[in-house]
């Protein structure tokens, strides 16, 4: 009896082990066939049944891989996290964990995971690429591009909708690829869990609403159809057809058809590759002489690459395929090409520096035959997959596809680059007190000939709308003040902007000191350092053409009164002569030396700079002699040695 029981237990254990191996084999068979959606449950079941630690780790990895390849980055992140960094886990688990975090917009966490992966596999350059991508993604989101993006609810369904393409020259019709319930192919795609895709058509109505997409019956089959491209006259279409079985992928080919009175002609296969090779995602150039497509050939750079074929004329055969080269293609996947009339090329990639999964890139041809590739950045790109862009002719308006809402299904988005908008918001303030100046008149003078006036009111504020690529001067005026001026320009600006500016105005009720008017000891020749301050005075006089002024020069008290008076007069005159040389009418200028007769009275600014001074102190000889040391005395003497001007009149008119 005991022997019988033991044999029975051995049989049951063997049967259980055999059953587990069968389930695991089913999981790997589905995986090998690309049936990732179906393989998830098989791997989960195998994981729950085994007690072997290494097998559990391997099944967790495979579940995570299936989620990644079905574009469920949230679930992938959770499963990769279970084994990331474990001794018995594949190093790739940590790498793909980092990529999942990145794709879910968790950039700081992704950087930490990439750093961890770099410690595990220091020779893999993808770690540094991932770290740099996350750093740039954070920067790009903090400083977005000026595009405006919104989802097109009328075109989107609960299933995947992607790769929009304008189908008419008025951009009132669009073709899109969709796995929605109305698709012809009712079988479930093993890799996505959705229907096979079809090509759908939608039209824009008078209320600017897109109609419910309907299948393009002339083109659709029971298999995968989609990713269309039109010739520039919209008379010919190119698209992808992928024939698939339950456990096989029979390949993808490019189909073409011509528009006729009844719709589309019978589609024909484009023979640009042998039967056994995949060709997908066609993009025809505006002149019809170059066709770009995606494949994975022996001369590629790793993943899927973009190739092209050419022909001398529309009636000639296509050339042999050529790889677009390392400027475009990487060890990752390059997909969904698109080319504009000016030759600018667009594509999606997960191999270049990017924000998430697939990003959209803009490539411009260079004179040496190479391409300059730029990421289109946020908000065109996001942490999710962004791809399949299409433009309305030469305008910066169009559509693209994205999974940015956190779902596994693709949706279609509209984008536009709105007109640049510029404005200026300013405040007119008293230069000395810092207080706003009410009821000042601000005049806008523009290089395009525009002139506008505004009053600051009680707040001292003003605001103007500005035009693109124009230089502006803002001139503020009010009785009792010298005119104030500020400048701004919108030239070279590629983003809308509101400028903030402050115009300082100087009261004319007191003398105005000119800073840094310097002379050598016992001389009246202006030193070069003085020119900056005097040139600013020239500008002030030009901005105030009705003002006459007196130049006032002062010395310290360390010589005779007669000598100081003579020296100060010569110094004041040297300033006047400089201004005359700069084109200021001599009738607006007078020079007067005050010697040591008008010592400086300490104001708030001086009191804040020197703690041995108080507001209202007079820096006369008695005060200076009472200072405790020579250093402080020299500071006071230096402050007394100054050049000022005061306004004599404000109604001067040149003859």
Q: How far, in Å, CA of 618 to CA of 446, rounded?
A: 46
Closest to 64 measured CA to CA, from 92, 85, 87, 24:
92
Provide the pLDDT for residue 162: 96
Q: Is 344 exposed, middle or buried (0-12, 13-18, 19+ CB in 10 A)?
A: middle
More reliable by pLDDT, 249 or 96: 96
Model confidence at 407: pLDDT above 60: yes
C-alpha to C-alpha distance for 361 and 374, rounded to whole angstroms: 6
Nearest to 394 by CA among 163, 166, 239, 206: 166
Q: What integer is the mean pLDDT of 299-319?
A: 95
E strand or H helix at 574, and its extent? helix 561-581
Residue 135 has pLDDT above 60, yes or no: yes
* Per-residue pLDDT at 274 exceeds 70: yes
pLDDT at 48: 87
288 vs 47, more confident: 288
Q: Give the pLDDT confidence of 461-471 residue by residue, as tens digits.
A: 999 999 999 99
pLDDT in tens, 501-532: 999 999 998 898 888 776 666 778 787 878 88
**pLDDT above 50: residue 225:** yes
Task: Please check the confidence at residue 579 and state whether its pLDDT lies above 60.
Answer: yes
Homologous superfamily (CATH) of 148-416 is TolB, C-terminal domain (2.120.10.30)
In the chain, pLDDT over 90 holds for what percent of residues?
73
Q: Tell me the β-bridge partners of 244.
A: 249
Tell me the CATH number of domain 20-142, given options 3.30.830.10, 3.40.950.10, 1.25.40.10, 3.40.50.300: 1.25.40.10
Give strand pairing partners of 215: 200
- How much is the pLDDT for 169? 94
Write down the pLDDT at residue 521.
Answer: 66
pLDDT at 12: 40
Residue 504: closest CA among 435, 592, 591, 405:
435
Give the domain ranges of the chain.
Answer: 20-142, 148-416, 422-505, 512-649
Q: What is the 3-state secondary structure (H, E, C) of 272-288?
A: CCCCCCCCEEEEECCCC
The 10s digit of each residue's pLDDT in 5-24 is 444 444 444 444 445 567 68
pTM of the model: 0.74
How many angstroms separate the CA atoms of 241 and 254, rounded? 6
Q: 512-649: what fold?
A: 60s Ribosomal Protein L30; Chain: A; (3.30.1330)
DSSP SS3 for 407: coil
pLDDT for the residue numbered 85: 86
Query: Pick from 593, 597, 599: which is nearest to 576 by CA?
Result: 593
Distance CA 435, CA 429 (A): 5
Q: Which of 655, 646, 654 is nearest to 549 (CA)?
A: 646
For residues 277 and 271, what is the distance between their CA atoms, to the nearest angstrom? Answer: 11
How many helices and strands in the chain, by DSSP H and E? 12, 32
Q: What pLDDT, on the 0 to 100 scale, is given for residue 526?
A: 80
State the fold for domain 422-505: Immunoglobulin-like (2.60.40)
Element at 92 (helix H, strand E): helix 91-103
Measured between alpha carbons, how far is 307 from 106 in angstroms, rounded to an integer? Answer: 34
Q: Which of 231, 277, 287, 288 is nearest to 254 (CA)?
A: 277
How high is the mean pLDDT of the chain? 90
pLDDT score of 185: 67
**pLDDT at residue 604 is higher than 90:** no
* pLDDT surpasses 60 at 248: no
């Amino acid at each position: 009896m005991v022997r019988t029981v033991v044999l029975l237990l051995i049989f049951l254990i063997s049967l259980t082990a055999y059953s587990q191996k069968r389930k695991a084999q089913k999981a790997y068979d589905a995986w090998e066939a690309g049936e990732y959606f179906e393989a998830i449950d098989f791997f989960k079941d195998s994981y729950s049944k085994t007690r072997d630690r290494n097998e559990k780790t391997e099944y967790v990895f495979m579940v995570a891989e299936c989620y990644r390849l079905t574009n469920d980055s949230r679930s992938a992140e959770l499963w990769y996290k279970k084994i990331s960094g474990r001794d018995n886990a594949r190093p790739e688990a940590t790498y793909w964990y980092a990529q999942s975090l990145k794709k879910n917009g968790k950039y700081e966490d992704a950087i930490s995971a990439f750093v961890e992966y770099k410690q595990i596999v220091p020779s893999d350059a993808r770690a540094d690429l991932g770290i740099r991508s996350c750093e740039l993604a954070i920067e790009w989101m903090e400083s977005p591009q000026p595009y405006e993006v919104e989802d097109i609810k009328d075109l989107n369904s609960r299933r995947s909708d992607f790769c929009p393409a304008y189908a008419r020259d008025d951009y009132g019709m669009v073709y899109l690829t969709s796995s929605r319930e109305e698709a012809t192919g009712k079988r479930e795609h093993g890799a996505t869990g959705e229907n096979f895709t079809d090509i759908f058509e939608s039209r824009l109505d008078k209320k600017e609403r897109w109609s419910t997409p309907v299948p393009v019956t002339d083109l659709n089959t029971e298999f995968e159809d989609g990713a269309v491209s039109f010739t520039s006259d919209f008379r010919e279409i190119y698209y992808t057809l992928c024939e698939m079985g339950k456990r096989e992928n029979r390949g993808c080919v490019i189909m073409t058809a011509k528009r006729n009175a009844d719709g589309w002609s019978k589609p024909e296969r484009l023979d640009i590759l042998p039967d056994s090779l995949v060709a997908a995602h066609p993009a025809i150039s505006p002149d019809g002489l170059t066709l770009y497509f995606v494949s994975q050939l022996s001369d590629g750079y790793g993943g899927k690459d973009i190739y092209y074929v050419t022909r001398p004329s529309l009636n000639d055969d296509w050339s042999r395929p050529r790889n677009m080269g390392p400027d475009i293609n990487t060890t990752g996947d390059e997909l969904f090409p698109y080319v504009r009339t000016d030759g600018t090329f667009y594509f999606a990639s997960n191999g270049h520096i990017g924000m998430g999964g697939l990003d959209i890139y803009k490539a411009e041809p260079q004179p040496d035959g190479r391409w300059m590739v730029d990421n289109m950045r946020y908000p065109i790109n996001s942490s999710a997959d962004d791809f399949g862009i299409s433009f309305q002719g030469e305008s910066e308006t169009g559509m693209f596809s994205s999974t940015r809402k956190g779902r596994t299904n693709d949706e279609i988005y509209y984008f536009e680059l709105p007109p640049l908008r510029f404005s200026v918001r300013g405040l007119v303030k008293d230069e000395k007190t810092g207080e706003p100046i009410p009821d000042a008149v601000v005049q806008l003078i523009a290089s395009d000939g525009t002139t506008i006036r505004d009053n600051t009111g009680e707040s001292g504020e003003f605001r103007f709308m500005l035009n693109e690529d124009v230089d502006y001067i803002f001139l503020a005026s009010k009785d009792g003040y010298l005119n104030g001026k500020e400048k701004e320009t919108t030239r070279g600006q590629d983003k809308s902007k509101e400028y903030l500016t402050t115009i300082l105005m100087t009261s004319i009720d007191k003398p105005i000191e000119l800073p840094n008017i310097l002379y050598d000891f016992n001389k009246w020749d202006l030193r070069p350092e003085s020119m900056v301050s005097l040139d600013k005075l020239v500008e002030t006089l030009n901005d105030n053409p009705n003002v006459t002024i007196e130049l006032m020069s002062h010395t310290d008290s360390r010589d005779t009164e007669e000598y100081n008076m003579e020296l100060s007069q010569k110094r004041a005159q040297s300033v006047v002569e400089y201004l005359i040389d700069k084109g200021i009418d001599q009738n607006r200028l007078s020079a007067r030396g005050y010697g040591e007769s008008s010592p400086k009275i300490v104001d708030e600014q001086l009191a804040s700079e020197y703690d041995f001074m108080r507001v209202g102190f007079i820096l006369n000889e008695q005060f200076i002699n009472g200072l405790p040391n020579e250093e402080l005395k020299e500071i006071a003497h230096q402050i007394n040695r100054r050049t000022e001007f005061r306004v004599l009149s404000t109604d001067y008119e040149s003859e």
